Amino acid sequence: MKIWLDGELVDQSEAKISVFDHGVLYGDGVFEGIRIYNGRVFRLDEHIRRLFDSARAIVLNIPWTFEEVVRATVETVAANGLKDGYIRLVVTRGVGGLGLNPYLCPKASMFIIASTIQLYPQEHYDNGLALITCATRRPAPAALMPQVKSLNYLNNIMAKVEAIQANALEAIMLNEQGYVAECTGDNIFVLKNGVIYTPRISDGALDGITRSVILELAGKLGVEVREQAMTRYDIYIADECFLTGTAAEVIPVVSLDRRTIGDGKPGEITARFIAAFRELANSTGTPVA
């Protein structure tokens, strides 16, 4: 496997960063997860734009231009001969001292991994996921803006621990006011009486790329979408529910906290969105070659 590291494609065994890198020491950095479908990188410009926005929000200067990062991403995919897969692009604060001061890190570091991923077993795409509500809350926007995809994912990891310990693969996370924010790594949508609802970004949800694709597809499919504050009640009484994310893609949900959603099977509208997403993903994107 070839890894792009600070301007060079190197073998995986040579892809190393310093123990003094603030990404390692403090989780100081940002990242993006990007998908490759049918030899094309899906929504590449949107992902790189969000990467730069996340970096700007935490006062992290990326020492490569937008165009250079796009080119490096495509080169990494090509070097690994991937037609379908997953890209992890990481920017760290770089090497510095043992103190917190980020201004003592003279230059950021970046690496790009292009490999494969399957977030959930196929059976859950066919039959749906069972969710729980976890006790771990999403950080308040005043603490860390939810739009920033930072390397410090401990909040999400602890929520994932709760899910796994409860024999679930995913969990709903609430904000401090008790409203639904998102899952540990995915955005959430519910369908009720022909209308799709999803939490507002201001309630702690990440402004997901796949989430934005679903909002676009809803218009083409003639389904109304409303972004609004949601509680678990809205999920309990939903006719259908599904999650979205770059790694997860679109996956149905059939229960929350052992309460059956709808008829306990993936819904027809969810199936339409899955089909529309797959068609779009496999026919558009930035060509690798």
Amino acid in the structure at residue 157: I
- The predicted model gives 268-272 an average pLDDT of 97
**Percentage of the chain lying above the pLDDT 70 cut:** 100
Does 2 participate in catalysis according to the annotation?
A: no
> Can you read off the two tokens belonging to residue 277?
């997403």
Confidence label for 118 from pLDDT (cuts 50, 70 and 90)? confident
Catalytic residue, from 16, 107, 149, 192: name it: 149
Residues 27-83 have pLDDT tens digits of 999 999 999 999 999 999 999 999 999 999 999 999 999 999 999 999 999 999 999
* Model pLDDT, residue 183: 97
What does residue 36 show for φ and ψ, rounded to 5 degrees?
A: -115, 125
* Model pLDDT, residue 168: 95
Residues 84-116 have pLDDT tens digits of 999 999 999 999 999 999 999 999 999 999 999
Q: Is the dihedral of CA 137, 34, 51, 154 positive or negative?
A: positive
Residues 124-180 have pLDDT tens digits of 999 999 999 999 999 888 888 888 999 999 999 999 999 999 999 999 999 999 999
- Alpha helices of 38-153 — where are they, by DSSP H? 44-57, 66-79, 122-127
The structural domains of the chain, ordered by start, are 2-115 (3.30.470.10), 122-281 (3.20.10.10)
- The mean predicted confidence, pLDDT, of the chain is 96
Q: Are strands 129-133 and 249-256 parallel, antiparallel or unpaired?
A: parallel
Coil, strand or helix at 127: helix
Residues 203-238 have pLDDT tens digits of 999 999 999 999 999 999 999 999 999 999 999 999
* Model pLDDT, residue 140: 84
Confidence label for 239 from pLDDT (cuts 50, 70 and 90)? very high
* Model pLDDT, residue 289: 80
- Those residues whose C-beta lies under 8 Å from the C-beta of residue 136, and which sit 6 or more positions away, are 155, 158, 159, 162, 173
